[in-house]
Each structure stands twice: as structure tokens, then as C-alpha cells.
Structure 1
Amino acid sequence: MMLSIKNIPWIELLKENHRHPSPRDWSDQVIYFLLIDRFSDGKEDGYIDVAGQAIPGNTPPFAPGDAGNAVTTPADTLKWESAGARWLGGNLKGITSKIGYLKRLGITTLWISPVLRQRPGVDDYHGYGIQNFLEVDPHFGTDQDFKDLVAAAHNAGLYVILDVILNHSADVFQYNTADPTGKLYTPAWSGTTYPVLGWRDPTGAPTLPFPAPVNPVDVDSAVWPEELQAADAFTRMGNIAHWDDRPETTEGDFDGLKNVHQGTGPLSDYTPSGALRTLTEAYQYWIAYADLDGFRVDTVKHMDHGATRFFTSEIHEFAQAIGKDSFFLVGEITGSREEAISTRDRTGLDAALGLRDVQQYMVDAVKGWGNPANYFELFRNSVEVDKPSHTWFRNHVVTAFDDHDLVRLDKEWKARFAADQEGRALELAILAMNATTLGIPCIYYGSEQRFDGKFPSDFNPAPDPKDKADRYIREAMFGAGFGSFRSRDRHFFNENSTTYIELAKILSVRKSDLAIRRGRQYLRPISEDGVAFWYPNRIGEGRMTSIVAWSRIMSNREVVCAINTDLAATRTAWVTIDARLHAIGAKFKCAYSTDPTQVGSPVAVEGRNGLAISVSIPPAGFVIMTP
């Protein structure tokens, strides 16, 4: 076990000369994000391995009749929901066993949650409370298990992105602040440094002197590597209360997780702290050791821009020095499109993870509760953010509609897209829109099985309102005590489910068509009678039930994609296409449809609204039309 940055065996690591090369263009990728603890323990019965063989196991597959099997009584309900706040047993070997499942779906890049050691005795199953930055958490497996997972992914043609944290560690020390009764508490940020009582020992008690170095025998105490035990490694300013106020948001603790001191100075002349240099070197070690292909950088909003720029520069240079020319750095930047793009440009990150705007407008467009133009204009109006062409967005924004935090939703109520009737019907439609519009698509685990995670408001007794509902959007794919659809002890690696099968077909078409992966993008006017054309638009208080169509154009090739937001009826419409690229009488054919009888059928270009083609889409369906 390494306890100091000085102990990293660089000479041995850098002898490796068979590094997995970077992708030519990250916009060609389809990312799949999973929480290690919630994905797989490798014990599922009948899952198919990478070689196509069915593997026996202990956990049977989920069947429709299993829905609700964990909540039949109030006591069972409490047991199920409390399981969701604890470690469930997913591990790295379990992920390795499901490489075949992911590859056959069409996934090309795996993004895994933080893998490093969490503070002992705490249920930080999500991985965002790191106590040792130089060791894999034993709940997940060993360092070698991590290396083996990346190697297995590479052998199958997949890349691996690791979620990394720079701005905070676990709750590794206790403030010396007490209320009138003498009870210790974490103070709120006020712009001042608070006294520290001590480093936490393995029981969580602050029994070890701060900032004295901790004896290596106490490896489960304080924070490691030992360079992070310096007094100035942490800001020590208490909890953030106002999440959008600087400098509070960059100096304060993250709900008790201790804020790392990043450095000082303006962006143009930033001086990184020793702690930031230590963390940067630790993550360089993991690149070299495990042969990683990218990082998703957590909570960039809570970092100085200078700190992020230092990290991106150091990581990019290191990765290039060992043969990874396009090591991918995507930052979690909550807030508006303009804030995300500005931060990306200032810091050197390769891409921004589109959260609030991208998610909300995509969901509203597909469910019919918002105007589709709101989503498409996030990309189309790039001139407003000083970008001359909207193709700039194709490999600089990672798009998704669900994730493990859903920060765009109320903290007391969170739910996956498929939590309601509309979402269940339209899950494939939104997966298709995400896969065939601009940006690098990211699929949140379980979406391909229509997971419906939601705060269970109808439970009796009601769950703890302080929970923030995060657990309910983090169901276990392998069942355990907290499976989706209020189930337990059933797994969901079903390659025969409709959504899995149809999404695999869509991703196959995407893989084969450069225009879908990299082309320009246009929301298209439609018409029911071929005479009056309009952009689909929500009118009044009800849902918009309409075809929503868009084009992807690469050079002189145009591909038309369209969804039908109507849950009950097939809809037919004329869709405007580019009159400069086609001629009357030319043919488009159906490359994909949720109605398989349409695939391969030709349609002729007609002289309507310039030029247009007719598309017919089943209820909640999707089509791809190619020239």
C-alpha cells in the first residue's frame, strides 16, 4: 500500500509501452455511466459474457411479476428503502463480467464512479468521499481488479473514463466548534478559518492530533497520501450554505466533505497549492497504472478556474507523454449553457457535462411539455457564445437526460425520466434523441431497461425527507436489497428487453453513419397537409403531441431523424429537407424504425416547402431516414 506520493514507482510504471491509444474523435463515442456499487456483483444467473456464453449464478433475472416484491408490507418497505442508503456489493469484477452486455448494446466508452478508498465505517457507496487517493476501495475490489477491468474493456474495444474528485476529500477531521450544550458541529462558511479538534480515527472520533502527521499504522485514519495531512491542505472554513456565491462555493466544505485548498491568484497567474499538486500526481499515477482513457472531473463549479486549468494542463501533458494524445477531460459544470461553455474555455477541459439546460430541455421536448426549439437552440445559437459554428458542440458537450444526482430537480423529489406513464412510453424516444443529436451521448445505467427510480411518495410509512431522494435514482442492476421497480434479489441484465434491443439497433446505425455522429444539426419544419409548414410547438396547457424532426448534415449527406410524442396514435408528416442537397424524385430510405416493417422502405423527395419527405412514425416511436 502506498501512503506517500514519494512512493509511486514511476520507473516501473513508465516502462509500459503498450498504452491503449485514444479515440480519433470523442464525438464518435457512446458513453455509459454507472455507479460501481449499484451495477453488478458478478453473481447474476444467466447473464451473457463477452464470449456470448450464458453464465450460471445465484440471482435470478427480473420478471414483471417481481415488481414490488420488496415492499409488500410496511416493514419490508422500510427495509428496502434503508438498503438504498448503504453499500450493496457491486464491484469491479462484476463490471468486468458485463463487458459483453455493454458492447452488444453499442456502448463504446465506460464511465465509472470514483473507485478510490472511502472513509471506513461510512456508507459512501457512491465513491465521492475519498480518504485514500492511492488505493482502490476494498468494497470494490483491489487495485489489480481495477487494472483488469480497464484491460478487459480495451480488449473488447471500449474506452474507460474514471470519475475523479479534486476539490474535496472525505470528512476526515472534526472542527473544534460546539453548541451551548457542548455538542460538536460543523460550522457554516463565514469567510474565516475555524479551529480543528483532530483527525478522525477509524471509528470517526477526532482522536488524532491535527495537523500532526499520522502514523502509517493508522492508515484507516485521517487522509492519505501523507502529503495531504499538512495544515494548509484544507481551507477549514465550514460548510457551504449559498451554493452560487463565490468565494463561499470554492472555499467551503461540501456537505461535510472537507474542502481541499487549491491555490491562490488570478486565472492568468495562478499558484497551485501543494495539495492540488499532490492530487494531480496521484491521478497521473492511476492513468499510468490502469491505462485509463479519460477523467470526468467532479464539482468543477466548486473549484477555482486556475486550479482546473492547472490540473487539465498537467494531465494532458502527462497523458501525451505516455502515448495518449486525446486523453479526455470532461467537467461537471452545473448551471447554464453559457456558464458551462465559459468554464470549459477558460480551463482547458475538453468537454462540459451538460446538466441543467440540456437535461431539462431534452426531457421537455420528448415528453411534450416544452418547445423542441429550446433544446435545439442550445446548440444552434452558438454564435451567442462566440462560436462561429454549432458543430463546435459536437465533441465539447456530453449530453444526458438522467444521472445519479439530477441537480436540476428539487432536492426533496427526484425521479428518472421513466418514473411516470409518459416517460415509460417514451424512454426509447429520448434515448434515440440523445444518441442522434449533437454532443457525446451518455446513457445512465438502467435506462436501457426503463428503470423508473423515483421518490416513493406513496410509501407508508413515508421515507426520511432529509434523504434528498438521491438513493431512489440509484437502484441496483443486480437487485440485492434495492432493485428497481421496488424489487429485491432480481437482476436486470436482460438483452431481450425491447428497449435494449431497439437501442442497440439505433446505436448500430449511429456507428455506421458519420453524419449522425459529427454532422451539423437543424430542427425541421413539419406539415400534416404538405402545404402549411411549422416548427413543432407546445400550445396551451396540455402536452404537445407531434412529430419532432431534425437533420444531421455532413458535407453533402443529410440524415433525417424524428420522434413521435403521441403515445396513442401513429402520426404522418412532411419534413423539410435541404433543397441544395436533393432533387425532386430522389429517394430516402428508412434505416431504422420502431415499426420494423418500415425498415428499407423508400420515400420520394417532393417539392413542398422547398423540398420535403413524408415520414410515418408509430406511437412514441422513432425513425431514421437516409439518402
Structure 2
Amino acid sequence: MRARKIFLAAAGLGAAFAASGAALARDGAYAPQDYRNRAPEDEVIYFVLPDRFDNADPSNDQGGLGGDPLKSGFDPARKGFFHGGDLKGLTARLDYITGLGATAIWLGPIYKNKPVQGGPGDESAGYHGYWITDFTDVDPHFGTKADLKEFVDAAHARGVKIYLDIITNHSADVIALRECHPEGEAPANAGAGPCPYRSRADFPFTTQGGPGGRKINNGFMGDADEFQTTANFEKLVDPSFAYTPYVPEAEKSIKVPAWMNDVRYYHNRGNSTFEGESSTLGDFVGLDDFMTEDPRVVEGFIDIYKQWITDYKIDGFRIDTAKHVNPSFWRAFLPAVKEHAKAEGIPNFYVFGEAVYWTTADLAAFMTEAGFETSLDFPMMKALKDQLLANESGHALHLML
């Protein structure tokens, strides 16, 4: 039932949970001093994108990038651009959130993003937080690391837990593929069109540009679970097996940590069709897709997110696009961050994933293979919509409840 409770509260359908949460807060059941010991299934979670909540500090609206919306991404008149909400605004409105009965906040991504992406006439901004360039810092549109610490500390003082939204599947769109975006003619995101997905069968790791190409990556055994060792991936030195990836000169060092600027740590197979192997190996709507089968990438992400736990003593993670990352990654990542959190004095560190499967069987299979204890419950969402909005039979909903 934990996954279903998360969905109901996050979707705004949790009035009953909110009412009971407010009552418990009044009765002292959620006293600040013992919030660490509350079981995750007892939380009422409030989801918020910082940009769309409250603007308490207009000085950071443009992220220090000047007044041109196509550079700063700030334009409140356009729905796909930054509107000015920030971490100080969240801190100022904490009493409002707790007054709704919330006992935990799922905080949308706050990491430094590429401010604007898209070709001419198709530009939009990274107000949502999912186009990350620096996985170690706060986006200046939202404030500073000090602002984040103030927010988390203020929430904890009220007995409210903070769950950070994290991403390991992809970064911002920086890498270009020469076959689709010739170097010098168009940057990676200038609207030159998507690169179709190129499969492992048609474009194996050991030949350049297809089976008829020259031999490359001698001795590389592939990316199957049994070959996911550092020694094997050290042999994957040439990334031109499917496409020829490159980074435009102006963005050679844009990503942090620095290892993320090496194109060898990405799949570089073109856009995902969200079917078959492309679901985990393809670029998610053009975003640079990490090669999460490589143990060096796994360890890199473990180190990144351990540090966020250490620095801010957060209470859990919501994991974006979890189904688009190979399950073996999660089997290493999840225990590592939970063990680290426990060592930091956070005994009930809570992790829930986003895995868009529409049947309970498919969702359960993914969770079992990947090692997730909890996930957002999309089958429940579908059953609710079918009954409440489409006037369909409540049989499916009855079976779930």
C-alpha cells in the first residue's frame, strides 16, 4: 500500500490523508524531535516544483545570466520558461504546506540545469530541473546551497521530511552525433532533427558505424550483466560504434563532475523509441543517456548522491525515469545510498521510483528485478482515471484496494 499512498497524496487526491496528517501534527504524533523514526508509509507527501511555487527572491530570477529569455530562460509569460519560484519561497511557505497536513516534501530537481534547449522557435527552459549540467550544485535560478540547507533545516525543525528528486538516466542535451548534426553546421540542440535509434544487433560495439566498419574496441565483451566490470569497460575506448559523438567547443567542460564530459560514458545510439532495448539504451527525447552499465558510471553516481545525503541530511530520493536505467545499476545504487544514509543517522531513508508501467504485473516485475521497495503506482492511477473520469467499471480499482 505504500506506493498507492504516495500516488494519492502526490496527485492531490489525498484529502483524507491530509486531514489525518494535520490531526496527528496537532496531537504531537509528528513531533520534530522524532521525525527520523517515523515509518515512510506514515508520511503524507507534498510534491512541489520550486520554480512554480513562490518567488521570494527576484534577484535570482534570471539565474545571473542577464535579461535575454533565450539565455536566462526566465519569462513568466511563457509556460515553458522559468517563472521565478525559488528555495527561499519554499522556506517562507513551509507553514502553509504543513497546514495542509503534509509531513514530507518531494522536492523537484534543484540541480544546475542547461537554462534553454531547443532549436529556433522551439526553445524552452529547464525550469523543471531535468536538464542537468552540474549534478553537484544548486541551479542559480533557485538560489544557493545555503538556501537549500536553510530550507531543509527549517523543514526538519517542523518535523517534515525532504525527499530529493534525482536523475541518473540522462543529463542535459550536450553531446551531438555527427551523422545527424555535422560539426560546425549545427549545435546538438539546434533542431536539425532526431537521430534514429541504432541497435546493438545492427551496430555492435566492436565495429565502427555498423558490421561492415573497421574493427574497434578489441576485447570488449559487451554490456550484459556478467560483463559489467571495470576491466571490460576499459576496453570500450572508441565510442563511434553506432554514431560519432562529439561535444561542441563551447560546452566541452559544461558538465560536473568532470568525468561526465567524456562521451565514452554515454550510449550514443540515438533517440529512444521507448520499446525494446532502446528503452534503456536510447536518448530520452534527445537527452544524453548515461552508459549506466559501466561500473565507473555507477560509482560516479553513488558518490554524487551520497554527498547530497551527507551535506543536507535529506530523508530520501524520488528517482526519475527509473525504468529507463538497467536493473543492475539499481541493484548496486540502492543498497549503497541506503547504507550511507543509515551511517549518517537516517534510519528510514526512503527511495521510490518512477516506472511507468500500466499493469501491476509489469510494475512488480521491474521492482523485483531492480530491487525497488516502492514505486509510484501508475496502475492505480489508471484504474482511478478509468472509473472517475471515463465512467468505466470499478472492477479493476476494487481488485487493487
Whether TM exceeds 0.5 here: the answer is yes
Alpha-carbon offset, residue 317 of structure 1: 1.1
* AA aligned opposite 1:251: L
Measured after TM superposition, the shift of residue 23 of structure 1 is 4.0
Runs of 5+ in structure 2 lacking a partner? Answer: 1-32, 59-74, 118-124, 187-191, 204-241
Measure how far apart 1:200 and its partner are.
5.8
Say if 1:350 and 1:148 are closer, same or farther in 2 by CA, change over 3 A. farther
String of CA shifts for 1:400-451, please: whole Å, max 9, x gaps: xxxxxxxxxxxxxxxxxxxxxxxxxxxxxxxxxxxxxxxxxxxxxxxxxxxx
Q: Which deviations, in whole Å up to 9, do the C-alpha atoms of 1:270-302 show, x marking residues without a partner?
A: xx5212211121011001111110000111110
| CA shift in 2, pair 1:125/1:252, >3 Å | same
- Pair 234,199 (structure 1): closer, same or farther in 2 beyond 3 Å: farther
> Is the Cα contact below 8 Å between 2:134 and 2:257 reproduced in 1?
yes
Cα distance in 1 for partners of 2:195, 2:308 equals 34
Task: Report 1:156-175 matches (<5 A).
Answer: 156-175=158-177
Q: 1:141 to 1:303 in 2, by over 3 A?
A: same
Q: Residues 147 and 291 of structure 1 are in contact (CA less than 8 Å); yes or no, is this contact kept in structure 2? A: no
Change (3 A) 1:43 1:119: closer
- CA contact 1:174–1:186 (8 Å) conserved in 2: no
1:320 maps to which residue? 342
1:187 aligns with 2:195: yes
Question: CA, structure 1 residues 239+302, in 2 after alignment: closer, same or farther (shift >3 Å)?
Answer: same
Residue 193 (structure 2) pairs with residue 144 (structure 1): no
> Partners in 1 of 2:355 and 2:129 — Cα distance?
19
- State, as a whole percentage, how many aligned pairs show the same letter: 29
Give me the whole-angstrom Cα distance separating, in 2, the residues matched to 1:127 and 1:179.
Answer: 25
Q: Which residue is 1:41 aligned to? A: 55
Aligned partner (choices 245, 251, 255) of residue 196 of structure 1: 245
1:111 pairs with 2:141: no
Letter in 2 for 1:235: H
Q: Is the 8 A contact 1:150 1:290 kept in 2?
A: yes
| Counterpart in the other structure of 2:210 | none
CA distance in structure 2 between the aligned counterparts of 1:200 and 1:87, rounded to whole angstroms: 26
Q: What SS does structure 1 have at the residue aligned with 2:353?
A: strand
- The aligned counterpart of 1:87 is 82
Equivalent residue for 2:46, pick from 32, 37, 62: 32
- Work out whether residues 175 and 263 of structure 2, in 8 Å CA contact, stay in contact via their aligned partners in 1: no
**What whole-Å deviation, never above 9, does each CA across 1:46-84 have from its counterpart, x for those lacking one?**
xxxxxxxxxxxxxxxxxxxxxxxxxxxxxxxxxx99610
Matched, 1:370 2:392: yes
TM-score, normalising length from structure 1? 0.45
Matched residue, 1:340: 363
Structure 2 CA distance for partners of 1:311 and 1:340, relative to 1, 3 Å: same
Instruction: Quote the residue 2:268 is aligned against.
Output: 236
Query: CA offsets, 1:151-201, max 9 Å, x none?
Result: 111111110101000010111222212479x66544111124311232462
Q: Decide whether the 8 Å contact of 1:177 with 1:185 is kept in 2.
A: no
Given that residues 313 and 346 in structure 2 are in contact (C-alpha distance below 8 angstroms), is that contact kept between their aligned partners in structure 1? Answer: no
Cα gap change, 1:179/1:131 in structure 2, threshold over 3 Å: closer, same or farther?
A: closer
Give the aligned partner of residue 281 of structure 2.
251
Structure 2 counterpart of 1:511: none
Q: TM-score with structure 2 length normalisation?
A: 0.69
| Structure number with higher strand proportion | 1
Amino acid at match of 1:343: F
Structure 1 residues 23, 189: CA separation in 2 closer, same or farther (over 3 Å shift)? farther
In 2, distance between residues paired with 1:328 and 1:226? Answer: 29
User: Measured at CA, do residues 227 and 28 of structure 1 come closer, stay the same or move farther in structure 2, by a change above 3 Å?
Assistant: same
CA distance in structure 1 between the partners assigned to 2:355 and 2:373 by the alignment: 12
Verify the 8 A CA contact 1:175 1:186 in the aligned structure 2.
no
For 2:334 and 2:41, locate their aligned partners in 1 and report how far apart those are by CA, in whole Å. 19
Letter aligned with residue 288 of structure 2: K
- Cα distance change on mapping 1:170 and 1:43 into 2, 3 Å: closer
In the superposition, relative to structure 1, how do residues 178 and 322 fare at CA in structure 2: closer, same or farther (>3 Å)? closer
Equivalences, count: 298
Task: Report the aligned-residue RMSD.
Answer: 2.5
Partner of residue 134 from structure 1, selected from 123, 133, 136: 136
Contact 1:87 1:124 in 2 (8 A): yes
User: What is the match of residue 312 of structure 2?
Assistant: 290
Q: Following the alignment from structure 1 to structure 2, what is the Cα–Cα distance between the partners of residues 96 and 29?
A: 20
Q: Which has the higher helix share?
A: 2
User: Aligned equivalents of 1:43 and 1:234: distance in 2?
Assistant: 37
